[in-house]
Amino acid sequence: MTIVKFAVPKGSIEEATFKILEKSWTRVVRRERTYRVILDDPQISVKMLRPQEIPSLVYNGLYDVGITGKDWVKETHSDVEVLLNLEYGKIKLVIAIPDSYHFKSLDEMIAQYARKKKVLRISSEYLTTASKFIMQCKNYKKFYGSKQPVIVTPWLSLGTNKNVQIFLSFGATEAKPPEDVDAIMDVTETGTTLVQNQLKIVDTVMESTAVLIANKTALKDKSKRGKIFDIVTMLRGAVEGKKHLHLFLNVKQENLSRLLAELPSLKRPTVSPLSEKGWYGINTIIPKSEFHKIVPKLRKIAQGLVVHEPKQILSLEEIKRDEES
């Protein structure tokens, strides 16, 4: 039996990940004090790891698929296939500086520090992303050309431009300025923590969400490809389920045409005659965003509205096309 190895994240997006796993499979067991997870599919072996590690481990074939942040795929330069945006863990990667500073962008800050021959220090967990962003700044190119900023970690230093230094942060990055560094590159959801630490955002580097990634070699393996797309199907179904509502309602025959004209659906509503003559039951799936618009109309022409949030909506034909492509 072929086993597909699946890495899921431990840490900030752990709980949201388990919510989507529990919507996708009927049995999800997280064993206490271990990093093993059991699904009701013996062909899927699941282990919890740090999201920072998952892109590299999937790229190197230690795992076939994984859930991580798009930010960490970019940071690690991992050549993996992004199969699905899971639409949770939404964050922004930003540049922030003390709110007492007058600079409006990192580029402006680079120029002034260069003119004053002052070393610019930045703290971040995202070393390669920070270096790339800095090197793309107009004033960095003007003053330093193609020299790479020095990346400083406890065990090594890389780069040649000592005038701009990026220090590896092990957490609490927002606490570093202004004593230890001049600016930070860090993730934020609302910006509240930055404001509480007297910091202001001057640049947005990227936006990120949790994504399902796959090893490209595993995707070409016929014995694994089908099971990988089973995982895509289950997770996509849970993502779509959160965005829709399942409606059941009754309507008189004279109002049926009017109701069907007003009612959105994935394809077309199911219409069934009731045991009472002249009445019909309607069964349909609608976008959750449309619900508040149709309730006033339904109150006038329908009865017995029952609303469920579906656990999953499986778009089987779409997955089949993806799998065969």
Architecture of domain 4-87+209-241: 3-Layer(aba) Sandwich (3.40)
Cβ contact 122:227 at 8 Å: no
Q: What is the pLDDT of residue 168?
A: 96
Look at residues 130, 121, 127, 125 and name the one whose alpha carbon lies nearest to residue 180.
121
Q: What is the pLDDT along the chain (325 residues), one digit of tens a residue?
A: 899 999 999 998 999 999 999 999 999 998 777 899 999 999 999 999 999 999 999 999 999 999 999 999 999 999 999 999 999 999 999 999 999 999 999 999 999 999 999 999 999 999 999 999 999 999 999 999 999 999 999 999 999 999 999 999 998 999 999 999 999 999 998 889 999 999 999 999 999 999 999 999 999 999 999 999 999 999 999 999 999 999 999 999 999 999 998 888 777 899 999 999 999 999 999 999 999 999 998 888 898 899 998 888 887 666 666 666 6
Look at residues 235, 211, 232 and name the one whose alpha carbon lies nearest to residue 322.
232
Alpha carbons 185 and 166: distance in angstroms, whole number = 10
| Residue 194 φ then ψ, to 5° | -65, -45
Q: What is the pLDDT of residue 141?
A: 97
Structure tokens at 215: 């090893």
Q: What is the pLDDT of residue 321?
A: 63
This prediction has a pTM of 0.89
- Where does CATH 3.30.70.120 sit in the chain? 244-308
Which CATH number, 3.30.70.120, 1.10.10.10, 3.30.2000.10, 3.30.750.80, labels domain 244-308? 3.30.70.120
Structure tokens at 36: 């093993």
Q: What is the pLDDT of residue 317?
A: 62
Q: Please state which CATH number belongs to domain 92-208.
A: 3.40.190.10
Q: What is the pLDDT of residue 263?
A: 86
- Where does CATH 3.40.190.10 sit in the chain? 4-87+209-241, 92-208
Please report, to the nearest 10 degrees, the dihedral formed by the alpha carbons of residues 139, 145, 151, 152 taken in order. -80
Q: What is the pLDDT of residue 322?
A: 66
